[in-house]
Amino acid sequence: MSTSLRLGVAEFRARPGRALLPGVALVVGVACLLAALVLSDALTRSVDEGAPLTPSAVGHVVDVKPPSYDGPAAGEQTRPALDDALLARLSAVGRAVPVQVAQADLLDAGGRAGQHRADVHVQQPDLVRWPLAEGRQPAAGGEVAVDKITAYERGLKPGDKIALAAADGRPFEVTVSGVLKKGGVDSLPVLVAGPDLARKLDLRPETEQVWVIGGTREAVAAAAGASYVVWTPAPDADKVGNDLMFVLLPFSVLALATAVFVASATFRAVYAQRQRQTALLRCIGAQRGPLVRRSLFEALLTGAMAGIGGALLGGPTAWILARTFDVTGISALFGAVELSPDLLPSLGYVVLGVVVAALLSVTAAVRPAINAARVSPLAALREADNEVPTRSVRRLRLVFGLLFTGGAALLAVAAVAAKGTTAAPLAVTFSAIAAVTGLFWVLGPVTVPFLARAFGRIGGTQWKLAGAEVRRMPQRSASVALPLLLASSMVTFFLVLLGGAQQMSYQFANEERPDATVVDAGARPLPEIPQLPGMAARVVLHKAENASAADPEEFKAWLRAQKVGGAERFAAGTAIVPLHWGDRPFVESDGKRYEVVGNVSGTLTGYEPVVAGPAAGPAQKVLVALQPGVDPARFRADLQAALPDNPTVIVRTDADERAEADRYLHLGTVLMMVLLGLSVAVAVTGIGTALTISVQERRKELALRRALGVTRGGLQSGVVAEAVMLALVGVIGGGALGFGYAQIAILSTGIDMSLPGLAVVLPLVIGAAAVVALAVVAAFGPSRGAARIRPAAGLASG
């Protein structure tokens, strides 16, 4: 054992660069792992710091008892209310404080309400529930605290003014007294206000709980009644813990797995480089066991050093991810912005990085070390400058490769045949695994050089030489291309699925629906909507019991303008129902029965029946058909300009559905590309390490090229061409594989999805260009090393 340790230390002292080369990928992989952990800690800390707290003065919390499974059916249960009667009973025991949430319209810079209303949490002045990041708690009736996402997006700070709409729709200004530590999830505004302001904003706020200060639990429970539950609040009951860690952790584990692939390929190349040294040791009596232990000890040291480096890079990587999430809008999805992850790792994370990297390094080195120790002593008399396996090995590889590939094809066919069942996604998954194993692992030394040969034909001399180098070391080239291929295939697979989901949302958005729908953001009665240029027809829907009421002639004229049929018999005393209602013979509304005489798409009327009756209720919606060629955005602007005293009147158009789908596709695309890009970054390091080893092995060849007149720039461009070729093999091969399996997955679901459009293709092209650019960067060091080789010294080194 001591001999193995001495040999391992001697190798580090003699060639530290070569010994540490397999750890480069592990450095990036550990950095990704710790970046995910550090960023998750920052996310969790941000959310937990903004979570509502129950004041210490509150002794008891009263809520509605959840329904029991052995009680009445869900539709027959009557939920008891947290109303004034309950408050009166509880007030006889102690101080009863309702925990309420109101709804309000936060107006934008133009003085108009948005599509989404703000949650206004009612806070008593002496019972502070929401912690602040800056400023002070709202005290006066004209003060509010805003969530940090709203403050970030609107540039608000304590002392600024914002506009709200009162319960009657009239705008008024309030002062921002503070900024909450909480962030509104998906940019939905959250405000905190006192009871007086909350009543001005919403006449009927929702009561979520009732706090009771004073009294015993038994007395509170007796006063509340059997329909309510009473519990003692916990200090951290509203905190989320570490749940957000699982958002980023799977992608960092994937990056670590990629690092193991790259490290294993690098160990194999490093051990092949010192094949003569190993053979000489075998000639003088060295046993295989000590040689294997020496290699594993080197791998352990390499992994430990990589773990320290990765731990130091984890914080800066997390900071870069946090800034990326801010810029792209992903942070708002988590309700967190401007995260500040720790730049320096804690001692626990350093230990974790070292242990993980060391274990993975040893794991990656086991097989290459065993194979290297099996070298025959006679190999000391040979040059190991190529990787030509024996005929039996090639034959065995072909047989297993065809078996895996054929199995993948059969599983893909089975997945499509079993579409719509739970077995289909499992078949797709195992088929993809078998395809990658067969085509790019077992048959990788054949597939990768074949693809490289195709690229070599489209370039000049440097490309042909690069292709020859890939074919000279097919096993190494396949090992380097495999991680990049896996990462590329996963990126393509998920983006194509997202594109298919987007196409489905477009199909939903393209269903029959009004060209424009005019409503009040807070469901207030609508004012008189003026007749504007561009309107082809319109119909006013009035509120009725279980339905909407409309003038039959006005409704039929609007349907004709929308080019929709189904209401030809609509007249007084009749009703039109959504298609999904089936064959119901009548509709009851406001104590009257209306005969069903037609069906229309539910997206046209808001999935409610429309009865032809007197307009007794308030106007709640106006459906507008626009003339051909009228811009919906322009119509919205004209209508809002015509209603300056009604800031809460909003216009929803068909284009809004598509824009919302595009927004979520964009966020999903960016999130997938960023997180899966961690694996791509690790995979690209494999190209850099492979080129470094290749340059070391070909010093004599490169020196000969220099002696024959090749310039330094020519040598550099040759190394860069090899990096670009390997990157293209991984990107295009993985892209084709991912695209194909995404289509198989879509077919296996039985859902009709169209092929993705430019919104998916463009990110893939940009991502491929970024990978090629990273490969060029990874080749910078090896190409510089090749250019520095002097002809005389290089030829003498042979």
Q: Which of 384, 410, 430 is the last residue of a domain?
A: 384
Judge whether 251 lies within some domain: yes
Q: DSSP class of residue 618? A: P
Quick one: average pLDDT of 481-505? 80
| 425 has pLDDT over 60 | yes
Q: Which of 367, 384, 401 is the last residue of a domain?
A: 384
In this structure, the answer to whether residues 7 and 142 fall within a common structural domain is: no
Alpha helix positions (H), 81-143 = 84-91
Judge whether 535 lies within some domain: yes
Specify the pLDDT at position 222. 93
Judge whether 651 lies within some domain: yes
Residue 211, helix vs strand vs coil: strand
Q: DSSP class of residue 52? A: -
Tens digit of each residue's pLDDT (9 = 90 or more) over 55-87: 989 999 999 987 654 454 444 456 688 889 999
Beta bridge partners of 162: 174
The number of distinct structural domains making up the chain is 3
In this structure, the answer to whether residues 251 and 380 fall within a common structural domain is: yes
Return all residues near 584 (Cβ < 8 A) that are at least 6 apart.
Answer: 577, 596
Predicted TM-score (pTM) of this structure:
0.77
Specify the pLDDT at position 379. 57
Spatial separation of the C-alpha atoms in residues 538 and 553, rounded to whole Å: 11
244 or 545: whose pLDDT is higher? 545
416 to each of 256, 425, 614, how far by Cα in Å?
32, 10, 54
Specify the pLDDT at position 239. 52
Specify the pLDDT at position 171. 93
Tens digit of each residue's pLDDT (9 = 90 or more) over 529-562: 888 888 999 999 998 888 889 999 999 999 999 8
Tens digit of each residue's pLDDT (9 = 90 or more) over 272-286: 777 777 777 777 776
In this structure, the answer to whether residues 221 and 250 fall within a common structural domain is: no
144 or 397: whose pLDDT is higher? 144
Residue 626, helix vs strand vs coil: strand
Q: Which domain holds residue 133?
A: 60-231
791 or 94: whose pLDDT is higher? 94
Judge whether 314 lies within some domain: yes
Tens digit of each residue's pLDDT (9 = 90 or more) over 184-202: 887 789 999 999 999 999 9
Helix axes 23-50, 654-697, angle to 10 degrees: 150
Specify the pLDDT at position 684. 87
Judge whether 467 lies within some domain: no
In this structure, the answer to whether residues 74 and 149 fall within a common structural domain is: yes
| 613 has pLDDT over 80 | no
Specify the pLDDT at position 76. 43
In this structure, the answer to whether residues 69 and 214 fall within a common structural domain is: yes
Do the Cβ atoms of 224 and 92 come closer than 8 Å?
no
Judge whether 731 lies within some domain: no
Quick one: average pLDDT of 713-728? 88
Q: From 270, 473, 288, 280, select the one nearest 381 (Cα to Cα).
A: 280
737 or 373: whose pLDDT is higher? 737
| 4 has pLDDT over 70 | no
| 700 has pLDDT over 70 | yes
Residue 625, helix vs strand vs coil: strand
Specify the pLDDT at position 209. 92
Instruction: Say if strands 60-64 and 228-231 run parallel, antiparallel, or are unpaired.
Output: antiparallel
| 461 has pLDDT over 80 | no
Judge whether 82 lies within some domain: yes
Tens digit of each residue's pLDDT (9 = 90 or more) over 567-587: 888 998 898 888 877 778 888
In this structure, the answer to whether residues 258 and 113 fall within a common structural domain is: no
Q: Which of 203, 231, 259 is the last residue of a domain?
A: 231
Residue type for position 118: A
DSSP string for residues in 287-313 = -HHHHHHHHHHHHHHHHHHHHHHHHHH
Tens digit of each residue's pLDDT (9 = 90 or more) over 370-384: 887 777 766 555 554
Mean pLDDT of the chain: 83
DSSP string for residues in 487-540 = HHHHHHHHHHHHHHHHHHHHHHHTSS--SEEEEETT-PPP-PPPP-TTEEEEEE
In this structure, the answer to whether residues 199 and 303 fall within a common structural domain is: no
Quick one: average pLDDT of 163-184? 93
Q: From 536, 528, 511, select the one nearest 632 (Cα to Cα).
A: 536
In this structure, the answer to whether residues 211 and 260 fall within a common structural domain is: no
In this structure, the answer to whether residues 252 and 178 fall within a common structural domain is: no
The helix, strand and coil proportions of the chain, stated in percent and rounded to the nearest 5, come to: 60, 15, 30
For 108-123, letters b (16+ CB in 10 Å) and e give eeeebbbeebbbbbbb
Q: What is the largest CA-CA distance in the chain?
A: 107
Q: From 22, 29, 482, 31, select the one nearest 263 (Cα to Cα).
A: 22
Tens digit of each residue's pLDDT (9 = 90 or more) over 325-335: 888 888 887 78
Give ∠ CA 484-487-493 in degrees, rounded to 5: 135
Instruction: Provide, rounded to the nearest whole percent, the portion of the chain with pLDDT above 90.
Output: 28
Dump strand ranges (E) for 547-700. Answer: 547-550, 574-578, 586-589, 592-600, 610-612, 619-626, 649-653
Quick one: average pLDDT of 471-490? 83
Least confident segment among 101-105, 381-385, 552-556, 793-797: 381-385
392 or 451: whose pLDDT is higher? 451
In this structure, the answer to whether residues 200 and 302 fall within a common structural domain is: no
Spatial separation of the C-alpha atoms in residues 132 and 95, rounded to whole Å: 26
| 607 has pLDDT over 80 | yes
Specify the pLDDT at position 72. 47
Judge whether 751 lies within some domain: no
Look at the alpha carbons of 109, 111, 116, 119 in this order and tell me if their dihedral is positive or negative: positive
Quick one: average pLDDT of 671-683? 82
Beta bridge partners of 107: 113
Spatial separation of the C-alpha atoms in residues 397 and 193, rounded to whole Å: 71
pLDDT band at 599 (very low <50, low <70, confident <90, very high): confident
In this structure, the answer to whether residues 249 and 225 fall within a common structural domain is: no
In this structure, the answer to whether residues 528 and 618 fall within a common structural domain is: yes
